[in-house]
Structure 1
Amino acid sequence: MAESSVFDLKAQYAQYGEYHSNPVNIVSHQIFVPSILWSSFGFLYLTGPLFPTPVAVHNFFASTFGLDVTMNAGVIALVLYAGYYFMLDPIAAFLFLPIEVTLFATSNYVMSTSPNGLAIVAAVYVTSWVVQVAGHYVFEKRAPALLDNLLQAFAMAPFFVFLELLFMLGYRPELQKEVHAQVTQRVQAFRAKQKLQ
């Protein structure tokens, strides 16, 4: 199938979703994709401050999380993720933003306060990836999406699992029906192609 715009939610969801149609794999992603994002923010903390922290940002993180946040590469990643998700679906992105900020803040807190911060972040990162990859081979019976489109997999994974959660709660039922139908078609096409090989 032809790939559509990176800003087309339906196309991006269906493209990523075809690798995530098994319920067990979806649940494992709902647990471990946020863990990967959390630990990635922790690794990005290591870049140190890249530019001065705006006073409003400093005050927000200090009062909300007790954190003296620095403008490290994690901030850039957070802004890019949030901006991309707002382009895909502003309401879902708005709902997801507090989760993204909390993942960023707590990983930075661990890195800045724990003498074992790097070991904790690394353990979470490695464990999460092992579970993710195993889930693809065991439950999906196929390689992870990142082997076919690394950038799309990293960009879409956190939002995909959040949308799955929102869909379970009744968010945009027509969109859910449409994208799940597209995912089903893509999975069937993949399975048919597999049988021919």
Structure 2
Amino acid sequence: MSIFDLKAQYVKYGEYHANPINIISHQIFVPSIQWSTMGFFSLTGPLMEVPSFLLPLFGPSMLNIKMNFATIMALSRICYFITLDYVAAMLYTPILLIMLSTSSHVMETFQYPKLLMSFIFFISWAAQVAGHYKFEKRAPALLDNLIQAFAMAPFFVFLELLFMLGYRPAFHKEVSTLIADKVRIFHANRASAKKKE
């Protein structure tokens, strides 16, 4: 399965995120995991100078940007998401840049930023894991696909929101059908395995 195949990747993600309550939980907690992670990654300090070709793309506000690990992560994600779905990636880019800016600001200005980010990070992960076991009745996707869990989950959560708003209805219908089939097969196999015990 190619990491650049949106349909295959989204279906794999969807297998673990089919329950409506778990989907809502992810809409809340995946962004907070990403935001707090960016905050911690901003502590690396500048790793290099901001490439001059980036300055005109974002205007004067980029003049104060630090090219730390959080910034490199954000820019890498934007590039990757563009390969998956250009329109959705362009809609997601401002959100990601706001998350980058605000998480870095918190780390630079709050009195106890590491404590705050740690609290948000661990509560968010606890909610995610609990949601998978309680509502999906299965382990989180990160146990099967670590790259997808960390690199793609924020974008797929955003895509879910776009689908709810009517974005790419034919694609959404196609992947929803494939996801429902995968979930049904998983639970049938699980029930069969329990009967054999």
TM more than 0.5: yes
Distance 2:140 2:32 in 1: 17
Which sections of structure 1, spanning at least 5 residues, go unmatched? 63-67
Instruction: Give the RMSD, CA atoms, in angstroms.
Output: 1.4
Indicate whether 1:15 and 2:12 are aligned. Answer: yes
How far did 1:58 drift?
8.3
Indicate whether 1:114 and 2:114 are aligned. Answer: no
Per the alignment, residue 164 of structure 1 pairs with 160
- Runs of 4+ with deviation above 3 angstroms: none
Per the alignment, residue 67 of structure 2 pairs with 71
Equivalent of 1:148 in 144, 147, 165: 144
> 3-state SS of the aligned residue for 2:21?
helix
How far did 1:168 drift?
0.7
Per the alignment, residue 36 of structure 2 pairs with 39
Equivalent of 2:120 in 124, 149, 159: 124
Q: Which amino acid aligns with 1:136?
A: H
How far did 1:54 drift?
4.8
Per the alignment, residue 76 of structure 2 pairs with 80
Which sections of structure 2, spanning at least 5 residues, go unmatched? none
Distance 1:75 1:60 in 2: 14
How far did 1:61 drift?
4.2
Q: Show CA shifts across 1:95-153 (max 9, x none).
A: 01011111111000000111211111111101100100000001100000000011111
How far did 1:53 drift?
3.1
Distance 1:61 1:105 in 2: 10
> 3-state SS of the aligned residue for 2:44?
coil
Distance 1:191 1:54 in 2: 50
Question: How does the TM-score come out when normalised to structure 2?
Answer: 0.92
How far did 1:37 drift?
0.5
Equivalent of 2:95 in 95, 99, 104: 99
Equivalent of 1:191 in 172, 187, 194: 187
Per the alignment, residue 59 of structure 1 pairs with 60
Q: Which amino acid aligns with 1:50?
A: L
How far did 1:19 drift?
0.1
How far did 1:21 drift?
0.2
> Retained in 2: the 8 A contact 1:58–1:69?
no
How far did 1:78 drift?
0.4
Per the alignment, residue 23 of structure 2 pairs with 26
Distance 2:35 2:49 in 1: 23
Distance 1:167 1:42 in 2: 29
Question: How does the TM-score come out when normalised to structure 1?
Answer: 0.92
Q: Which amino acid aligns with 1:36?
A: I
Distance 2:34 2:62 in 1: 19
Number of paired residues?
189
Q: Structure 1 residues 124, 58: closer, same or farther in 2, change over 3 A?
A: farther
Q: Which amino acid aligns with 2:67?
A: M
Distance 1:58 1:129 in 2: 35
How far did 1:165 drift?
0.4
